[in-house]
Amino acid sequence: MPNNTILQLKNVDVHYGKIQALAEIQISINEAELVCLLGGNASGKSTTLKTILGVVRPSAGSIEFLGDRIDRLPTKKIVEKGVSIVPENRRIFPKLTVLENLELGAYLRNDTQKIAEDMDRIFDLFPRIKERRQQYGATLSGGEQQMLAMGRALMSRPKLLLMDEPSMGLAPILVESSFEIIQRVNQEGVTIFVVEQNANMALSIADRGYVLQLGRIVLHDEAQNLLNNEMMKKAYLGTG
């Protein structure tokens, strides 16, 4: 279904100085899909996201978003085009209020009226943070921060939402609820690309998955097939 491909990475290489972090990465994501990228520590997952966002530059290959090359654009332009991220460890601005955090999510927008509407929509989605809208980000609990980070990312009305390790540092119960939220947002039509170490959790909600090892994609399949893959069971699922 190439006509509704939203994001496509073709043969992307990334180097940090002499060290190669990503090699020949091929990823494509279709509209309204929920795709996950799995892998261990230092396998290059975060680098992949940073490369999509233009924080890190690929040394070879190309990245297309909605049919346009974005691999040479500054981050600002990429965000403007409709890519948004919930970063690893959420990265809430600790000394800005919840409201200000959300406002910054809409930093590149000027449609005041619609921003207000979206804000209400976020508060409907996460009533917990509505109660706390005048508090500093730092005072929120882990779960609330996760909601705020999600809300902040949605405030830019993204066409593609990137999520970097949403389960990291969260209590297991929160992990489950946070994946439910991801699923819900996806069902509302937002394309989501999740990077996760928690393979079980991610595959349980994803349509498809890629597996990254030492900077290379070693596996790519429907989520259901990955859950039954022998190598996956051994290396990542702990069920082998």
- The span of 6-14, 96-104, 125-133, 180-188 binding another protein (CB under 8 A) equals 96-104
Which of 1, 45, 23 lies closest to 210 in space, CA to CA? 45
171 binds another protein (CB under 8 A): yes
d(CA 161, CA 169): 20
- The span of 56-64, 114-122, 182-190, 193-201 binding another protein (CB under 8 A) equals 193-201
**Cβ burial 40-55 (10 Å sphere, 16+ → b, else e):** eeebbbbbbbbbbbbe
Tokens 């593609």 correspond to 160
**195 touches 182 (CB < 8 A):** no
Strand partners, 31: none
183 binds another protein (CB under 8 A): no
- The span of 68-76, 115-123, 124-132, 179-187 binding another protein (CB under 8 A) equals 68-76
**17 touches 23 (CB < 8 A):** no
42 binds another protein (CB under 8 A): yes
169 binds another protein (CB under 8 A): yes
In the complex, which residues of this chain contact another protein (CB under 8 A)?
A: 18-20, 40-42, 53, 55, 74-76, 79-80, 84-85, 87, 91-96, 100, 103-105, 107-108, 142, 152, 156, 168-172, 175, 198, 200-201, 204, 213-214, 235, 237-240
